[in-house]
Chain A
Amino acid sequence: MLISAKARWGLRAAALLYLLLLLILPVVIVFTKTFEHGVGTAWSYMTTPAAISALSLSLLMAIVAVPLNAIFGIGAALIIVRGRHRRLAAVLDAFIDLPFLVSPVIVGLALTLVYGIHGWFGAWLASHGVQIIFAPTGMIIATVFVSLPFVVREVAPVLAEVGDEQEQAAATLGACGWQTFRRITLPSIRWGVLYGVILSTARALGEIGAVLVVSSLVAGSTLTLPLLVYERTQNPGSAGVTGAYAAATELAVISLVVLLAMTLLSPRRTRST
C-alpha cells in the first residue's frame, strides 16, 4: 500500500494509544498506588511474614514445576518429532495442549475430584495421613498441570527445523544415544528449552485460577504471591488495599524481568545453532 503520511500517522496513533491504554496504564497505576504512601510503607508490606512466606511458596512452585516440565518437555518433543511410533506421537501431540485450553478453575476442580477428601484417592490418602488438597502439594500439582506444555511447544518446532542429519552422522561415527543427545541434540535446542523454561516460570509464579481452588487460603502457609494479592484485596483490613498493591508490584517487577529475558532470547530461539 502506498499510504499517505497522514493515514500512516493516524494508524500509528491508534495502535499506540490502544497499547498505552490497555497495557501501560494498568502497570503504571499499580506502581503509583503501591508507592503513594511512600517507599517505606510499601516495603513494610512486602516484608511482612505473610508476604515473605507467599514469595517463597511461589518460588517453590516454580522450582518444582519448571524442571519437571522441562525434562518432560524435551522428552515429549523428541517423541513427537523423532519418535518411531507415529501413532503415539500423534496422540501425545493432540493431548499436550489441553492444559492451555482447559480453564484453570477446571484444573483445580479436577484435582479436588481426584485427591480431595471425597475424591477418587481421597479415602486412601486420608488413611495414610497424606493431605494434598488445601495443602502446598496440591498447589504444586496444579502448577505443574498449567505450565506443562510450554517447553514442548518451544522445543518441538526447533527439533523439526534442525533435522536429524547431524544426529545420524554422530550415530554412524559410533556415538551412543546419550552422547548424541548431549553433544548434538541438546546444544541445538538449548535456546528453545530456555525460552520454554522462562515462559513456564512466569506461568508458575503467576498462576492463580488453579491454585485458588486447591489452596486453603491461609496466610503464611498456603498463599502464593498472586493469592496474597487476591486475599489482601478481598479482606483489606484496617490498612486498606495498599498491601495488595505492594504484592502486585512484586509480581509486576518479576514479570518485567521475564519480559526482558523473553525479548533478549527471542531472536535466538528460532535459530538452530
Chain B
Amino acid sequence: MATLYLSVIVLIPLAAVVAKALSQSPSALWRSISNAESVKTLVTTLLAAVVTAAIASVMGTLVAWVLVRDEFPGRSVVNAIIDLPFAMPTIVAGLALLVLYGPHSPLHLHLAFTRTIVVVALLFITLPFVVRAVQPVLLERNREVEEAAASLGASNLTIFRRVILPALRPAILSGAALSFARAVGEIGSLVLITAKVPIASIVIYNDIEQGVPHAAASLSLVLMVVSLVVLALIRRLGGRVAH
C-alpha cells in the first residue's frame, strides 16, 4: 500500500517528466540544455545556490555556536525563531524582500531583481538547515579537549581550526548540502523578486506557461540529476533530508 501510494503520487509523475525530456531526439535534448540561455540559467542558479550554501555554512555555524555556548537573556526565544523559515510560506518572505529592497525601499537599498536579492531570499529559506545540523553536535561535544588545547597554549583560532571545526565538519557539510539542494529548486520566495535574473525554477515555470513543455522537461531533468547527486552526498554524510 505504502509503495503504491508513493508510486502514484511521486514516482509516476516524475517518470512523466523524464519521459517527456527523453522523448526528444538526443541531439534535440542536448540542444535544449546546451543553448546559451539554458547554460546561463543553470550557471546562475547553481552559482546562487553555492554562494548561499557557503554563507549559510559560516553564519549558520556562528549562530549555532552562539546559541549553544553563549548565554544571554532571550536565548530560548532566539532559538525558537530559527525555525521560522520552515513555518512561514515562502511567498511571504518574497513579498517582504520586495518591500524592503524594491523600488520604494525604506532602506534605500534597491536590490530587487538582482542576483544579490536572490541570495538574500535563499539565505532566508535555508537558514535552519546548518544551524539545526550543527547545534546537536556542539551540545554533545566534550569541552575537555578544547580546555586541554588552551592549557597547552593554543590560541582561540587554533582551537577552533584544529579542534572544533574537524568535529563539526560533517554536520556543516550536511547542512550546506541541504541548503544547496533547497536553493537549486526554490521558486516561492523568488517569484516576485527575480524578474530578468535567470533562475531555473522560474524559467521552467515560464516555459510551461508558454506551452513549451519539452524545454521545461529538459531543464527539469538537469535539476533532478543535480538533486539526486546531492541526495547521494547527504546520505554519505549520514544526514537526514528533513530537519
Q: Name A's B-contacting residues (CB within 8 A).
A: 1-3, 7-8, 11-12, 14-16, 18-19, 22-27, 29-30, 33, 72, 75-76, 79, 88, 91-92, 95-114, 118-120, 141, 144-145, 148-150, 153-154, 157, 199, 202, 205-209, 212-213, 225-226, 229-230, 233-234, 244-245, 248, 251-252, 255-256, 258-259, 262-263
- Is there an interface contact between B62 and A259, defined as CB atoms closer than 8 Å? no
Contacts of B88 in A (CB 8 A): 27, 206, 251-252, 255, 259
Least CB distance from B93 to A in Å reads 6
**Interchain CA distance A88-B1 in the complex, whole Å:** 12
Where chain A touches its partner, the secondary structure class is helix
- Is there an interface contact between A109 and B208, defined as CB atoms closer than 8 Å? yes
- Is there an interface contact between B91 and A106, defined as CB atoms closer than 8 Å? no
Chain B 200-220 near chain A by CB (<8 Å), digits 1 or 0: 111011001000010011001
Given the contacts A23-B81, A113-B213, A11 and B10 also touching, CB distance less than 8 Å: no
What is the total of A-B residue contacts with beta carbons within 8 Å?
262
- Is there an interface contact between A229 and B92, defined as CB atoms closer than 8 Å? yes
**Interchain CA distance A154-B243 in the complex, whole Å:** 9
- Tell yes or no: B140 within 8 A of A by CB: no
- Is there an interface contact between B185 and A206, defined as CB atoms closer than 8 Å? no
Contacts of B220 in A (CB 8 A): 103, 105-106, 109
Contacts of B124 in A (CB 8 A): 22-23, 26
Nearest CB in chain A to that of B232: its residue? A94
Contact of B83 among A14, A72, A262 (CB under 8 A): A262
Contacts of A30 in B (CB 8 A): 92, 95-96, 99
**Interchain CA distance A207-B5 in the complex, whole Å:** 21
CB pairs A–B below 8 angstroms (29 shown): A2-B147, A14-B62, A15-B63, A18-B59, A22-B123, A23-B85, A23-B124, A29-B96, A29-B100, A29-B106, A97-B242, A100-B182, A100-B241, A101-B185, A102-B223, A103-B204, A103-B220, A103-B223, A104-B185, A105-B185, A109-B213, A112-B208, A153-B240, A157-B240, A209-B187, A233-B98, A234-B192, A252-B88, A255-B87
